[in-house]
């Protein structure tokens, strides 16, 4: 049986790695050893999570055993020097490895060196209070494989992460806080993940205005667990469409927003880099038959809306890439996978976003051939063609375009706000020319 499954997996991987759309321009190591790991992983993931540890070494307690935490091991290699092992997450398409998040206690008055691979983000983030985060300085991150931290006598605990982190509970708390600011937003559970966690969908519209002729906008985020920029972006979208401002009111009067703030719920909780709790890529489960519960949850909502009187017109799929790009970007699908007219439809939204914010200038444009069935964009295209403008937006972990400083969580929230603002121009909403200012800082 084991050999049969391995053969099947080999065939699937060879098939999957042949697609024209690359996996977010990122490299994931694949080998027969990965397949063996994945086979074992599929049987053990519910019983054990090697990335969830609590370990005391030389008087410092390292823990990643909490929501979104991830660190496989730590060992002492000298006085106040530690080797930190990032979890290599096996999956059907290979091993994904860059996310880490862990806490340290017992560091007061010490200067410690952590040998840790953060090559996918030269400046990880630190929090000393569990609330506020900042990028490490050049001195604190002197190389891509080392972090050096000096703690004062009253600084006995700290938390490190690959990028400004958000776990499941933290995301849902932020979403709840935003939704509770307005009577025009509501939250519902649309299903559960493979491990039984709730999947939320937020609906935002002006409930005092009839839905007739309203544009339906779909957004979903965090399909890949480590791509946390997507969470900051979706929270920015929610802030913009719920706020009590002329722009917020305009968007609510003319649009119905359906937003799934967290799709890979189990992967985020487990502190994964990319895959779900079973080692699968839920971004690429849209070929018939759809099998993963997270995708089935989304599909049920999409099918319901598309059969209704206000079908989805815009669908935004929020991601992040490991690549060091000048700008964030959209994957614009091109001929022959789509029509020339649809290329222009996508470009119209990209241009509207460009007009909305100085934080985006389309300096890293990407195009791709839309796969026949892998992605949600494929599903929209196959069933509704040019009627749904579906795009993937990719954040990154490097520098922002305005001043070349390191991009932050607040930058992504602002990018989210302006993705919402761009809809006014793209949809040509009534009152577009009366919006006094595109930039809301």
Strand partners, 203: 186, 258
The CA distance from 90 to 34, in Å, is 6
Over residues 107-124, the mean pLDDT reads: 98
Structure tokens, 105: 């206690």
Write the pLDDT tens digit of every residue in 217-242. Answer: 999 999 999 999 999 999 999 999 99
Q: State residue 78 phi and psi, 5-degree precision.
A: 165, 180
Q: Which domain holds residue 153?
A: 1-164
Q: Are residues 400 and 374 in the same domain?
A: yes
Mean pLDDT of the 392-404 span: 98
Question: Considering the chain, what is the average pLDDT of its residues?
Answer: 90
Q: What is the pLDDT of residue 40?
A: 44
User: Which residues of 197-306 form beta strands (DSSP E)?
Assistant: 198-204, 215-221, 255-260
Q: Is 129 exposed, middle or buried (0-12, 13-18, 19+ CB in 10 A)?
A: exposed
268-303 pLDDT, tens digit each: 999 999 999 999 999 999 999 999 999 999 999 999
Q: How many structural domains are present in the chain?
A: 2
Residues 90 and 109 in one domain: yes
Q: What SS3 class is residue 162?
A: coil
Same domain? 312 vs 397: yes
Asked whether 118 and 130 are in contact (CB, 8 A), the reply is: no
Token code pair at residue 12: 């699937």
Q: Is the pLDDT of residue 347 over 60?
A: yes
Euclidean distance between CA atoms 237 and 246, whole angstroms: 15
Q: Lowest-pLDDT range, 166-170, 246-250, 388-392, 433-437?
A: 433-437
Residue 440 resides in a domain? no
Residue 7 has pLDDT above 50, yes or no: no
- Tell me which of 164, 193, 220 is where a domain ends: 164
Query: Using the 8-state DSSP alphabet, how is residue 107 labeled?
Result: -
The answer to whether the CB of 157 falls within 8 A of the CB of 128 is yes
Q: Is residue 439 part of a domain?
A: no
Q: How far apart (Å, rounded) are the C-alpha atoms in residues 43 and 371?
A: 31
Tokens 């007219």, located at residue: 341
The count of other CB atoms within 10 Å of the CB of residue 289 is 6
Asked if the model's pLDDT at residue 338 lies above 50, the reply is yes
Q: 15: pLDDT confidence band, cut at 50, 70 and 90?
A: very low
Q: How confident is the model at residue 35 (pLDDT cuts 50, 70, 90)?
A: very low
Lowest mean pLDDT of 20-29, 107-116, 385-394, name the range.
20-29
Q: Give the SS3 label for residue 88.
A: coil
Residue 219 lies in a domain: yes
Residue 159: φ, ψ to 5°: -130, 135
pLDDT for residue 186 is more than 70:
yes
77 & 203 share domain: no
Q: Is the dihedral of CA 399, 423, 177, 63 positive or negative?
A: negative
Q: Are strands 215-221 and 312-320 parallel, antiparallel or unpaired?
A: parallel
Structure tokens at 151: 């703690």
The CA distance from 366 to 383, in Å, is 24
Share of the chain above pLDDT 90, in %: 87
C-alpha angle with apex 170: 165 to 174, nearest 5 degrees? Answer: 110
Neighbouring C-beta atoms of residue 84, cutoff 10 Å: 19
Q: What distances in angstroms separate CA 253 from CA 208, 356, 389, one per listed residue?
A: 8, 20, 20
Q: Tokens 């086979």: give the residue.
A: 39
Give pLDDT, residue 440.
38
Query: Per the confidence metrics, is the pTM higher than 0.85?
Result: yes
Per-residue pLDDT reduced to its tens digit, 36-57: 444 444 434 444 799 999 999 9
Instruction: Among 164, 192, 217, identify where a domain stops.
Output: 164
pLDDT for residue 164: 98
CA angle 26, 27, 32 (to 5 degrees): 150
Instruction: Please report the pLDDT score of residue 48 as a whole number.
Output: 74
Percent of the chain with pLDDT over 70: 87
3-class state of residue 230 by DSSP: helix
The answer to whether residues 248 and 267 belong to one domain is yes
Query: What per-residue confidence (pLDDT) applies to 431?
Result: 77
Residue ending a domain, choose from 164, 187, 210: 164
Report yes or no on 328 lying in a domain. yes
Is a pLDDT exceeding 80 seen at residue 5? Answer: no
Contact 399, 405 (CB under 8 A): yes
- 319 and 370, same domain (yes or no): yes
Q: What is the pLDDT of residue 43?
A: 39
The domain that holds 206 is classified in CATH as: 3.40.630.10
Q: How many other β-carbons are positioned within 10 Å of the β-carbon of residue 291? A: 10
d(CA 125, CA 129): 13
Report the pLDDT value the prediction gives residue 433, as an integer from 0 to 100: 60
Alpha-carbon gap, residue 239 to 222, rounded angstroms: 17
Confidence of residue 432 (pLDDT cuts 50, 70, 90): low
| pLDDT at position 189 over 90 | yes
């Amino acid at each position: 049986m084991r050999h049969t499954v391995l053969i099947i997996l080999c065939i699937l991987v060879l098939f999957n790695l042949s697609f024209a759309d690359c996996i977010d321009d990122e490299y994931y190591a694949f080998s027969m050893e990965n397949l063996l790991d994945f086979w074992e992983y599929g049987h053990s993931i519910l019983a054990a999570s090697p990335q969830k540890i609590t370990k005391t070494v030389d008087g410092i307690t390292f823990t990643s055993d909490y929501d979104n935490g991830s660190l496989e091991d730590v060992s002492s290699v000298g006085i106040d020097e530690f080797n930190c092992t990032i979890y290599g997450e096996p999956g059907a398409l290979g091993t994904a490895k860059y996310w880490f998040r862990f806490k340290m206690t017992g560091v007061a008055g010490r200067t410690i060196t952590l040998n840790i691979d953060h090559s996918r983000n030269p400046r990880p983030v630190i929090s000393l209070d569990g609330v506020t985060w900042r990028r490490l300085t050049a001195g604190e991150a002197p190389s891509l494989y080392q972090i050096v931290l000096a703690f004062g006598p009253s600084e006995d605990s700290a938390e490190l992460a690959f990028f400004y982190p958000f776990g499941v509970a933290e995301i849902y708390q932020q979403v709840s806080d935003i939704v509770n600011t307005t009577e025009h937003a509501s939250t519902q559970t649309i299903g559960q993940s493979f491990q039984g966690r709730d999947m939320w969908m937020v609906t935002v519209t002006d409930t005092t205005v009839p839905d007739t002729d309203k544009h339906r906008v779909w957004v979903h985020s965090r399909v890949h667990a480590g791509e946390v920029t997507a969470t900051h972006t979706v929270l920015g979208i929610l802030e913009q469409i719920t706020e009590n401002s002329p722009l917020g009111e305009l968007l609510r009067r003319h649009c119905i927003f359906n937003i799934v703030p967290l799709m890979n719920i189990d992967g985020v909780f487990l502190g994964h880099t990319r895959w779900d709790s079973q080692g699968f890529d839920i971004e690429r489960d849209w070929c018939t038959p759809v099998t993963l519960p997270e995708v089935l949850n989304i599909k049920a909502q999409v099918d319901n809306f598309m059969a209704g009187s206000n079908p989805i017109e815009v669908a935004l799929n929020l991601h992040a890439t490991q690549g060091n790009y000048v700008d964030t970007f959209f994957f614009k699908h091109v001929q022959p996978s789509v029509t020339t007219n649809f290329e222009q439809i996508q470009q119209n939204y990209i241009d509207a976003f460009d007009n909305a914010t100085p934080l985006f200038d389309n300096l890293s444009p990407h195009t791709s051939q839309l796969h026949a069935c892998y992605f949600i964009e494929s599903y929209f295209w196959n069933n509704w063609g040019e009627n749904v403008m579906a795009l993937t937006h990719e954040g990154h972990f490097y520098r922002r375009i305005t001043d070349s400083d390191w991009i932050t969580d607040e930058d992504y929230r602002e990018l989210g706000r302006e993705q919402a603002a761009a809809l006014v121009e793209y949809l040509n909403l009534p009152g577009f020319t009366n919006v006094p200012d595109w930039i809301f800082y």
